[in-house]
């Protein structure tokens, strides 16, 4: 058999094996989960860290968790490691949002031992469909304190030396609305971690502790080297951008956010000083989410393909004062954190887009546009909570149109829930799922199309909440392209009781009756380049496919209608 | 006489079994008229088609049409409000950190996607009646665009296909010669995007497949073939021409499927029912697990899917295999961080590995095997050409410079990395699904299978390796081991509580009656038909299912309890836990087989030749960590049943090289298969 004498080769082999472990954990979690938000939307993440909490391999459904797995492990080490309380068979649980995203995302971590010594952690973090609080589905645009957003689980043990701490599970079950699903997901998470732990131990058995330790350290250096290579190619200097968040859900005023980026040959420094202070409404997030956001865009700018590990981010420096919307502290509400977290990415994106036209598009849908529809299934009489993010339009690039109907950059390997499954499981009726051609996104290359998703309510009474950011400030255009269209929700009352159009950016527990239609509308992305430069051929194609109307062609592209 | 022809990327292989034994022949593949190559290989083998009892055929015509986008111009008719389902797809972006991601373009552009007024609810009740008269203007519009194929997909058609059937009939009436595929006929499962995609891709390849099958049939009949050809499917069975024409997408992965089925059939014959099958070709390696003589079937198949591309789903039954970009032609390269990788880029056959001397500038797995002495230079490329050593040395230079290692160390590294990649794939089909490789034998075939198998088995800890006779054309041989097979799946969610048995039994029976009718119409012989049942099951609330074999007897409460128990056990094995939640049956899956009178592999004659007579010489072979050894070279064609060979050894002929490392023992069984014991005991 081939022993791998040369470190260069064995490290590649171990790296591939670690990536395979991440994949396996990821699949184990999806396939045994009880909730569509996990098994269809894949709103979760799995990973392995070193014993010191450095990220070694991560399997992601979404980008938002990049960097959160290691933050959690570092907290476990700090809280339990010093006292010698990390033991084989332990499982830690946490949903502390200031070390993560929001209370809905629950993390499980399992320490991994080889020959009696701690060698690493297997971790996963997944969106539970409900964690209690003032609203079914837990996230809400209406909260003003963390206490309204659900049960807080500080980092603690839920299994001790292989034994489940039943009182902990009982306490959790008593405080959440869908205990059966969520405890099913708890076991799915435990299983995924077990798989990761078993496979890592097998690698240790094969290569030995010393070689593994060297390989892991080598991996981190490798991540750093690969990124350093790309960093050199980025444009150098100072880049700035500012933008506006619609509002905090409590008041009407927009919130200003801004970034100053300083790129040199070996460092990438971002400074968010000057951004709005932490808000009364739940659009805030903690510093960990800021780090994850910046890491994500940094990876997109440098090397999107190599597996993420802690070494990839050594050149990164993030500056932001305490208690801004990006660095909120307890007890600030955070349940719709993504609205702000994505702005941290988007600011850097906007500042760099025209300087890196082969890596970046014009502004895209940005908001996750997640909503909660709580209703009664008309056939079974069961209470149901439909939670899902929506697809929208992506921005154009310097050489092509934007993508139609694609999840926000916050998501990734995220799947929409099939209409046939939504109707069977939630007892709603979907009237259309279609690309729209609202004004916006015109350009030499046009922004990708957003969608209309219409639900007809079939039960007597239902409630709708959601957070559709970029309701007031649509996605930005680049190089002379037009801005995109807005994200919003429109309610169409069956009885015609409302005269004016009923339109929301942050609907909160809006009541609906049988026959009412809720139309979710996502943005068309920003355009790139002057619309007058759009080719005749492309315009004809757009008209033929119904992506623009004759009227829009004349108005935005100065195209004369074809002679009859 | 039974003959199989397998059209591959480079060669069209032929295997023939009759009373005289086995014959194999290879000829060049002849795109785009693949049937020409088939006729040519028959001529080259000197086979008179009139003497053939069964002619089994595997073709890449479907997958080629898909991958090269050479299918028909296709239109879609779908429920009002949902024409963009095909374009939105699932919205996923596996390339998470790539913000310049390109979404795969739909196979039907928007202007050819037409909506029709109609609607069912999820229970199959009509919410909005079908406006059948709208079909007329849709057909007129599609005709004006010179469309050649039409796919139809209505929401919830898997529950109630009434509207799809009515639309199909009307289109047929207005336009008799167009290809039409209604979604429920090619996919009985829920998820509208996946079903639409399956119907669209089926329609897209239908005209080409139909033309190809007709032309093949005609040419063979003209040359005296009395029966009809049998066509290899991805589900590991064969179809009648009629069956293949109705469901052309079922041929999409026929090549890999026949190799796996051949392995399963061989395993049964030689008493090895539990196998991990590995097929190493020029560009990729494919692996599948066989338990109790049967391969697993899945419908979660996608084309063009990888870490950066969501691909296109085709929910047709396909042998459950994992494919990775590692084969003989995989290129070794060094990235900017100083790490060496092997694959997934391949040198293919043009320019091919550096050793071909056709301008290949990169070191491939094949070149590394040559440098380490595993491939005999005298038998390189079937013995027809000497390796181009200068070209190999030139190709090594950039690697030596980047890595600062010797040529031999790098070659060892290339093999080590390629093997590790393959081991990860082998683990995906075994360990990852709860199977312990130590309870399986590794059966390896394809051009590179025999060379790598022993090293892989060592890492995977399988106790035994089997290299089948004629391992380089094993896929074609596998076709001769397949029965007629057609799979039917239908989503219908049932909770397995007490009293549900009658309902479930009735659903199976209704499906079976319909399936029999379809199979009869497609020419399956009624008297040879047998049916197997499977149930895709899950815990209530879960989505993904576990496939459970279902006893084919009248289901009563006791049988349901048995089924539930079997599900708990399978779930435990795959996912390491079980729940006491309700259990649901989600997909009814039945398989109709019609057994074919297959010839067993005939025993090889024994002349009593001594092993020494098969030995050609001794050469130095590098076994990596096991060191460099003077190694006995044997002519594989002179090895006889019963002969025992001790490693280090190389058994070779112009088509295969079996590398046996020091300490391993091998023997040939009665049929010419080589068995290698990995442990001393």
DSSP class per residue in B602-624: PPPP-----HHHHEEEEEEEE-G
Residue B346: per-residue pLDDT:
87
Q: Is a pLDDT exceeding 80 seen at residue B350?
A: no
Closest CA to A219 of A314, A337, A286: A314
Q: Is a pLDDT exceeding 50 seen at residue A275?
A: yes
Looking at residues A416-424, what average pLDDT do you find?
Answer: 94
Quickly state the pLDDT bin for B598 (edges 50, 70, 90).
confident
Residue A39: per-residue pLDDT:
64
What pLDDT digit, counting tens, does each position of A74-111 carry? 999 999 998 999 999 999 999 999 988 999 999 999 99
Whole-Å CA distances, A523 to A435, B100, B600: 10, 18, 63
Chain A nearest CA to B94, separation (Å) = 5
Is residue B14 within 8 A of residue B5, CB to CB? The reply is yes
Establish if B602 belongs to a structural domain: no
The domain of B264 spans 255-482
| Count of positions (residues) in chain A | 564
- Cβ–Cβ of B103/A412 closer than 8 Å? no
Name the residue facing B100 among A6, A397, A404 (closest C-beta).
A397
Looking at residues B449-469, what average pLDDT do you find?
Answer: 94
Is residue B208 within 8 A of residue B70, CB to CB? The reply is yes
Looking at residues A337-364, what average pLDDT do you find?
Answer: 96
Three-class secondary structure of residue A355 per DSSP: helix
Residues of chain A positioned with their CB less than 8 A from the CB of B648: none
Residue B22: per-residue pLDDT:
83
Q: Is a pLDDT exceeding 70 seen at residue A558?
A: yes
Residue B234: per-residue pLDDT:
95
Q: Is a pLDDT exceeding 70 seen at residue A42?
A: no
Establish if B311 belongs to a structural domain: yes
* Residue A108, beta-bridge partner list: A93, A124
Q: How far apart are CA B170 and CA B168, in angstroms?
A: 5
Quickly state the pLDDT bin for B18 (edges 50, 70, 90).
confident
Chain A nearest CA to B637, separation (Å) = 27
Looking at residues A254-263, what average pLDDT do you find?
Answer: 98
Residues of chain B positioned with their CB less than 8 A from the CB of A229: 336-337
Chain A nearest CA to B279, separation (Å) = 20
- Cβ–Cβ of A424/B493 closer than 8 Å? yes
- Cβ–Cβ of A419/B85 closer than 8 Å? yes
Is residue B56 within 8 A of residue B482, CB to CB? The reply is yes
- Cβ–Cβ of A420/B190 closer than 8 Å? yes
Residue B139: per-residue pLDDT:
98
Chain B residue whose CA is closest to A62 = B96
Quickly state the pLDDT bin for A295 (edges 50, 70, 90).
very high
Tell me the count of A-B CB pairs closer than 8 A: 239
Q: C-alpha dihedral over A344, A347, A353, A355, to 10 degrees?
A: -110
- Cβ–Cβ of B191/A420 closer than 8 Å? yes
B433 vs A542, higher pLDDT: A542
Residues B463 and B489 occupy one common structural domain: no
Establish if B601 belongs to a structural domain: no
Residues B106 and B231 occupy one common structural domain: yes
Looking at residues B465-493, what average pLDDT do you find?
Answer: 92
Q: How far apart are CA B453 and CA B455, in angstroms?
A: 6
Q: How far apart are CA B56 and CA B565, in angstroms?
A: 40
Residues B668 and B656 occupy one common structural domain: yes
What pLDDT digit, counting tens, does each position of A528-552 carry? 999 999 999 999 999 999 999 999 9
* Residue A430, beta-bridge partner list: A455
What pLDDT digit, counting tens, does each position of B226-239 carry? 988 999 999 999 99
Residues of chain A positioned with their CB less than 8 A from the CB of B341: 12
Q: What is the mean pLDDT of chain B?
A: 92
Angle between helices B134-144 and B162-174 (to 10 degrees): 50
Structure tokens at A178: 């869908």
Q: Is a pLDDT exceeding 60 seen at residue B569?
A: yes
Name the residue facing B91 among A297, A379, A405 (closest C-beta).
A405
A500-516 exposure pattern, b = at least 16 Cβ within 10 A, e = fewer: eebebbbbbebebeeeb
Establish if B603 belongs to a structural domain: no
Identify from B426, B433, B543 which residue to disrupt to test chain A contact, counting A C-beta atoms within 10 A and taking the largest count. Answer: B543
Q: Is a pLDDT exceeding 90 seen at residue A180?
A: no
Residues of chain A positioned with their CB less than 8 A from the CB of B428: 20, 24
Chain A residue whose CA is closest to B416 = A2
- Cβ–Cβ of B413/A304 closer than 8 Å? no
Pick the most confident of A38-42, A53-57, B51-55, B77-81.
B77-81
% pLDDT > 70, chain B: 100
Residues B184 and B268 occupy one common structural domain: no
Name the H helices within B522-638. 557-575, 611-614
Residues B583 and B510 occupy one common structural domain: yes
Q: Is a pLDDT exceeding 80 seen at residue A66?
A: no
Which of B415, B448, B482 terminates a domain? The answer is B482
Give A210's contacts (C-beta < 8 A, 6+ positions apart).
none
B10 vs B675, higher pLDDT: B675
Residue B552: per-residue pLDDT:
75
Chain A residue whose CA is closest to B408 = A6
Name the residue facing A191 among B191, B427, B577 (closest C-beta).
B577
Looking at residues B147-152, what average pLDDT do you find?
Answer: 98
Backbone φ and ψ of A454, nearest 5°: -105, 130
Closest CA to A335 of A118, A141, A172: A141
Q: How far apart are CA B114 and CA B118, in angstroms?
A: 12
Pick the most confident of B70-79, B377-386, B579-588.
B70-79
Which of B466, B482, B498 terminates a domain? The answer is B482
- Cβ–Cβ of A2/B416 closer than 8 Å? yes
Three-class secondary structure of residue B401 per DSSP: helix
Compute the C-alpha angle A152/A158/A163, nearest 5°. 165
Q: How far apart are CA B184 and CA B161, in angstroms?
A: 7
Q: C-alpha dihedral over B453, B458, B464, B467, to 10 degrees?
A: 10
How many domains is chain B built from?
A: 5
- Cβ–Cβ of B84/A451 closer than 8 Å? yes
Residue A45: per-residue pLDDT:
87
Strand B149-153 vs strand B113-116: parallel, antiparallel, or unpaired?
A: unpaired
Residues B341 and B418 occupy one common structural domain: yes
Which of B252, B271, B306 terminates a domain? The answer is B252
Helix (H) or strand (E) holding A12: helix A7-32
Chain A nearest CA to B25, separation (Å) = 34
Residue A37: per-residue pLDDT:
64
Q: Is a pLDDT exceeding 50 seen at residue A564?
A: no
Q: How far apart are CA B154 and CA B128, in angstroms?
A: 12
Residue A188: per-residue pLDDT:
87
- Cβ–Cβ of B96/A60 closer than 8 Å? yes
Residues B389 and B474 occupy one common structural domain: yes
Residues B530 and B619 occupy one common structural domain: no
Chain B nearest CA to A28, separation (Å) = 6
- Cβ–Cβ of B190/A27 closer than 8 Å? no
- Cβ–Cβ of A191/B417 closer than 8 Å? no
- Cβ–Cβ of B459/A403 closer than 8 Å? no
- Cβ–Cβ of B97/A419 closer than 8 Å? no
Q: Is a pLDDT exceeding 50 seen at residue B29?
A: yes
Residue B435: per-residue pLDDT:
87
Q: Is B278 exposed, middle or buried (0-12, 13-18, 19+ CB in 10 A)?
A: buried
Residue B284: per-residue pLDDT:
85
Name the residue facing B84 among A62, A429, A434 (closest C-beta).
A434
Q: How far apart are CA B583 and CA B497, in angstroms?
A: 8
Chain B residue whose CA is closest to A390 = B91
Identify from B99, B302, B336, B626 which residue to disrupt to test chain A contact, counting A C-beta atoms within 10 A and taking the largest count. Answer: B99
Q: Is a pLDDT exceeding 90 seen at residue A499?
A: no
Residues of chain B positioned with their CB less than 8 A from the CB of A4: 413, 416
Residues of chain B positioned with their CB less than 8 A from the CB of A391: 88, 91
Strand B149-153 vs strand B179-182: parallel, antiparallel, or unpaired?
A: parallel
Q: Is B616 exposed, middle or buried (0-12, 13-18, 19+ CB in 10 A)?
A: middle
* Residue B114, beta-bridge partner list: B77
Residues B448 and B512 occupy one common structural domain: no
- CATH number of the domain enclosing B511: 3.30.1490
Residues of chain A positioned with their CB less than 8 A from the CB of B94: 412-413
Backbone φ and ψ of B496, nearest 5°: -85, 65
Strand order in the sheet with A237-245: A237-245, A255-263, A268-271, A316-319
- Cβ–Cβ of A546/B155 closer than 8 Å? no
Whole-Å CA distances, A277 to A259, A367, A506: 14, 20, 20
Q: Is a pLDDT exceeding 70 seen at residue A2?
A: no
Looking at residues B449-477, what average pLDDT do you find?
Answer: 93
Residues B515 and B632 occupy one common structural domain: no
Establish if B600 belongs to a structural domain: no
Give A342's contacts (C-beta < 8 A, 6+ positions apart).
A293, A366, A367, A368, A408, A409, A410, A469
Looking at residues B546-560, what average pLDDT do you find?
Answer: 89
Residues of chain B positioned with their CB less than 8 A from the CB of A110: none
Q: What is the mean pLDDT of chain A?
A: 92
What pLDDT digit, counting tens, does each position of B305-315 carry? 887 899 999 99
What pLDDT digit, counting tens, does each position of B76-122 carry? 999 999 999 999 999 999 888 999 999 999 999 999 999 999 999 99
Residues B580 and B650 occupy one common structural domain: no
Q: How far apart are CA B184 and CA B164, in angstroms?
A: 8
Residues of chain A positioned with their CB less than 8 A from the CB of B100: 358-361, 397
Chain B residue whose CA is closest to A226 = B337
> Whole-angstrom distance between the N-terminal and C-terminal Cα of chain A?
77
Residues of chain A positioned with their CB less than 8 A from the CB of B541: 34-35, 180-181, 184
Residue A562: per-residue pLDDT:
60
Name the residue facing A36 among B93, B190, B543 (closest C-beta).
B543
Instruction: Note whether ipTM > 0.95 here.
Output: no
Identify from A28, A61, A420, A453 which residue to disrupt to test chain B contact, counting B C-beta atoms within 10 A and taking the largest count. Answer: A420
Residue B272: per-residue pLDDT:
96
Q: C-alpha dihedral over B24, B25, B31, B35, to 10 degrees?
A: -80
- Cβ–Cβ of A20/B427 closer than 8 Å? yes
Closest CA to B663 of B614, B629, B619, B616: B629
Name the H helices within A270-415. 287-301, 338-352
- Beta strands in A38-89, from DSSP E residues, in sequence order: 44-50, 55-60
Residues B496 and B474 occupy one common structural domain: no
Rg (alpha carbons) of chain B, rounded to whole number? 26
Identify from A3, A5, A7, A9 which residue to disrupt to test chain B contact, counting B C-beta atoms within 10 A and taking the largest count. Answer: A9
Chain A nearest CA to B427, separation (Å) = 9
- Cβ–Cβ of A404/B88 closer than 8 Å? yes
Three-class secondary structure of residue A26 per DSSP: helix
Is residue B251 within 8 A of residue B317, CB to CB? The reply is no
């Amino acid at each position: 058999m081939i022993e791998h004498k040369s470190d260069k080769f064995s490290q590649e082999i171990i790296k591939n094996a670690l990536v395979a472990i991440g994949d396996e954990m990821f699949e184990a979690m999806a396939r045994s989960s009880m909730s569509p938000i996990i098994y269809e939307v894949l709103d979760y993440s799995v990973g392995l860290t070193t014993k010191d909490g450095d990220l070694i391999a991560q399997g992601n459904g979404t980008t938002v968790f990049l960097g959160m797995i290691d933050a959690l492990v570092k907290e476990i080490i700090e809280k339990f490691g010093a006292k010698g309380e990390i033991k084989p068979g332990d499982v830690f649980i946490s949903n502390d949002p200031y070390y993560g995203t929001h209370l809905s995302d629950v993390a499980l971590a399992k320490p991994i031992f080889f020959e009696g010594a701690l060698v690493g952690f297997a971790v996963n973090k997944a969106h539970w469909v409900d964690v209690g609080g003032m609203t079914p589905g837990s996230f809400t645009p209406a909260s003003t304190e963390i206490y309204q957003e659900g049960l807080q689980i500080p980092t603690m043990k839920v299994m001790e030396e292989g034994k489940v701490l039943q009182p902990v599970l009982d306490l959790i079950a008593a405080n959440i609305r869908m205990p059966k699903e969520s405890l099913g997901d708890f076991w799915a998470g435990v299983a995924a971690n077990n798989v990761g732990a078993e496979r890592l131990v097998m690698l240790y058995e094969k290569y030995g502790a010393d070689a593994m330790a060297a390989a892991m350290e080598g991996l981190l250096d490798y991540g750093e080297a690969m990124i350093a290579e790309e960093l050199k190619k980025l444009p150098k200097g100072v880049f700035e951008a500012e933008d506006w968040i619609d509002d905090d859900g409590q008041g009407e005023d927009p919130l200003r956010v801004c970034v100053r980026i300083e790129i040199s040959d070996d460092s990438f420094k971002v400074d968010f000083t000057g951004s709005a202070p932490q808000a009364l409404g739940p659009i805030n997030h903690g510093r960990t989410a800021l780090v994850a956001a910046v890491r994500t865009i940094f990876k997109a700018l440098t090397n999107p393909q190599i597996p993420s590990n802690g070494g990839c981010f050594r050149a990164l420096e993030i500056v932001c004062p305490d208690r801004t919307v990006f660095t909120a502290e307890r007890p600030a509400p955070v349940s719709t954190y993504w609205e702000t977290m994505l702005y941290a990415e988007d600011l850097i994106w906007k500042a760099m887009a025209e300087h890196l036209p082969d890596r970046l598009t014009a502004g895209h849908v940005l908001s996750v546009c997640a909503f909660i529809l709580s209703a009664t299934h008309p056939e079974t009489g069961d209470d149901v909570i439909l939670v899902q993010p929506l697809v929208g339009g992506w921005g154009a690039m310097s050489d092509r149109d934007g993508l139609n109907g694609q999840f926000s950059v916050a998501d990734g390997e995220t799947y929409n829930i099939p209409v046939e499954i939504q109707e069977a499981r939630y007892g709603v009726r979907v009237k259309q799922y279609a690309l729209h051609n609202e004004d916006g996104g015109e350009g030499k290359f046009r922004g990708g199309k957003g969608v209309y998703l219409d639900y007809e309510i079939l039960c007597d009474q239902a409630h709708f909440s959601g957070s559709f950011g970029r309701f007031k400030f649509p996605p930005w255009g680049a190089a002379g392209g037009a801005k995109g269209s807005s994200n919003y929700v429109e309610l169409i009352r069956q009885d015609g009781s409302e005269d004016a159009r009923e339109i929301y950016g942050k609907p909160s527990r809006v009541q609906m009756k049988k026959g009412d239609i809720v139309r979710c509308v996502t943005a068309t992305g920003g355009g790139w380049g002057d619309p007058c430069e759009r080719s005749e051929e492309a315009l004809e194609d757009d008209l033929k496919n119904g992506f623009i109307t004759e009227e829009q062609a004349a108005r935005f592209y100065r195209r004369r209608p074809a002679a009859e | 006489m039974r003959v199989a022809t397998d059209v591959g990327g480079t060669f069209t292989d032929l295997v023939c079994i009759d009373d005289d034994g086995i014959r194999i022949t290879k000829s060049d593949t002849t795109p785009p008229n693949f049937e020409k190559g088939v006729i040519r290989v028959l001529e080259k083998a000197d086979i008179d088609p009139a003497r053939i009892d069964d002619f089994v055929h595997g073709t890449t015509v479907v997958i080629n049409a898909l991958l090269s986008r050479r299918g028909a111009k296709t239109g879609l008719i779908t429920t009002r409000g949902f024409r963009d389902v095909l374009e939105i797809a699932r919205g996923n972006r596996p390339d998470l950190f790539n913000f310049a991601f390109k979404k795969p373009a739909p196979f039907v552009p928007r202007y050819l996607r037409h909506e029709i007024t109609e609607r069912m609810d999820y229970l199959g009740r009509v919410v909005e009646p079908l406006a059948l008269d709208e079909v007329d203007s849709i057909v007129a519009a599609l005709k004006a665009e010179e469309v050649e194929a039409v796919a139809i997909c209505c929401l919830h058609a898997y529950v109630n296909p009434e509207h799809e059937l009515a639309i199909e009939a009307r289109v047929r009436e207005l336009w008799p010669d167009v290809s039409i595929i209604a979604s429920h006929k090619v996919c009985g499962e829920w998820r509208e995007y996946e079903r639409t995609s399956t119907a669209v891709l089926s329609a897209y390849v239908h005209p080409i497949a139909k033309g190809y099958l007709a032309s093949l049939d005609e040419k063979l009949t003209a040359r005296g073939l009395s029966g009809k050809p049998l066509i290899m499917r991805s589900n590991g069975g064969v179809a009648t021409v009629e069956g293949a024409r109705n469901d052309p997408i079922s041929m999409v992965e026929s090549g890999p499927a026949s190799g796996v089925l051949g392995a399963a059939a061989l395993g049964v014959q030689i008493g090895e029912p539990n196998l991990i099958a590995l097929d190493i070709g020029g560009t990729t390696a494919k692996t599948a697990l066989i338990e109790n003589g049967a391969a697993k079937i899945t419908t979660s198949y996608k084309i063009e899917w990888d870490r950066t591309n969501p691909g296109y789903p085709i929910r047709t039954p396909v042998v459950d295999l994992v494919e990775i970009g590692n084969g003989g032609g995989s290129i070794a390269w060094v990235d900017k961080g100083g790490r060496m990788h092997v694959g997934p880029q391949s040198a293919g056959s043009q320019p091919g590995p550096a050793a071909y001397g056709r301008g290949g500038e990169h070191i491939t797995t094949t070149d590394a095997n040559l440098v380490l002495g595993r491939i005999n230079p005298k038998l390189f490329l079937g013995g027809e050409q000497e390796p181009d050593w200068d070209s190999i040395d030139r190709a090594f230079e950039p690697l030596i410079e980047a890595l600062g290692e010797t040529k031999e160390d790098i070659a060892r590294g290339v093999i080590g990395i390629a093997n590790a990649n393959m081991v990860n794939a082998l683990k995906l089909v075994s360990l990852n699904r709860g199977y312990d490789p130590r309870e399986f034998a590794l059966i390896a075939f394809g051009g590179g299978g025999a060379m790598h198998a022993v090293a892989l088995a060592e890492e995977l800890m399988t106790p035994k390796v089997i290299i089948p006779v004629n391992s380089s054309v094993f896929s074609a041989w596998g076709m001769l081991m397949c029965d007629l097979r057609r799979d039917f799946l239908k989503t219908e969610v049932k909770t397995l509580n007490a009293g549900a048995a009658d309902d479930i039994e009735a659903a199976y029976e209704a499906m079976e009656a319909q399936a029999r009718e379809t199979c009869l119409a497609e020419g399956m012989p009624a008297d040879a038909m047998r049916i197997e049942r499977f149930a895709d099951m899950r815990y209530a609330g879960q989505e993904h299912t576990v496939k459970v074999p279902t006893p084919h007897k009248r289901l009563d409460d006791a049988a349901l309890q048995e089924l539930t128990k079997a599900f708990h056990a399978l779930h435990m094995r795959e996912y390491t836990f079980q729940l006491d939640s309700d259990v649901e049956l989600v997909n009814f899956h039945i398989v109709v087989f019609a057994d074919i009178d297959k010839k067993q592999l005939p025993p090889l004659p024994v002349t009593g030749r001594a092993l020494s007579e098969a030995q050609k010489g001794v050469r130095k072979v590098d076994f990596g960590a096991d060191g460099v050894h003077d190694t006995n070279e044997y002519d594989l064609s002179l090895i006889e049943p019963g002969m025992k060979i001790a490693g280090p050894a190389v058994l070779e002929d112009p088509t295969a090289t079996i590398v046996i490392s020091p300490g391993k023992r091998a023997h040939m069984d009665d049929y010419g298969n080589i068995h290698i014991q990995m442990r001393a005991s």
